Amino acid sequence: MHKLIVFYPHPDNPEEFMDYYVNRHLSEINKFPGLISASYGQVEDEESPYFLFFEGVWRNGAELNDALNSEVGQALLADVPNYSPKGATMVTLDVKEVDLSQER
């Protein structure tokens, strides 16, 4: 499993950011090729340099890369300055599962 995680810095106008993000940007997420699941959330720690995160999950790195390089992926990346003029930090990772079946 591969994940895309995007961290957004604190915006100057949080209400405007969230309105655009939820009502315009996220409406395009379901068009991301190969996307298995997606989530987002506001960071609760006020001391954090981040305001919001997005997490998307793909089956493998090739599908994630194809999604990022797709027309939809490029359009979503190009949309970021429309609601986050301070940019965003994006990371991709190969997720390793932890075996929790052993007794604690």
Range of the domain at 58: 2-94
Q: Does some domain include residue 70?
A: yes
Q: Does some domain include residue 99?
A: no
Cβ atoms of 11 and 86 within 8 Å: the answer is yes
Cβ atoms of 10 and 51 within 8 Å: the answer is yes
Quote the tokens at residue 42: 């506001």
**Structural domain tally of the chain?**
1
Q: Does some domain include residue 13?
A: yes
Q: Does some domain include residue 84?
A: yes
The closest of 81, 78, 76, 89 to 26, measured between CA atoms, is 76
Residue pLDDT, tens place only, 6-36: 999 999 999 999 999 999 999 999 999 999 9
Residue pLDDT, tens place only, 46-99: 899 999 999 999 999 999 999 999 999 999 999 999 999 999 999 999 999 888
CATH of the domain at 28: 3.30.70.100
Q: Does some domain include residue 78?
A: yes
Q: Does some domain include residue 29?
A: yes
CB-side neighbour CA atoms (13 Å) of 48: 14
Q: Does some domain include residue 100?
A: no
Report d(CA 15, CA 29) in Å as an integer.
20
Q: Does some domain include residue 65?
A: yes
- pTM assigned to the model: 0.90
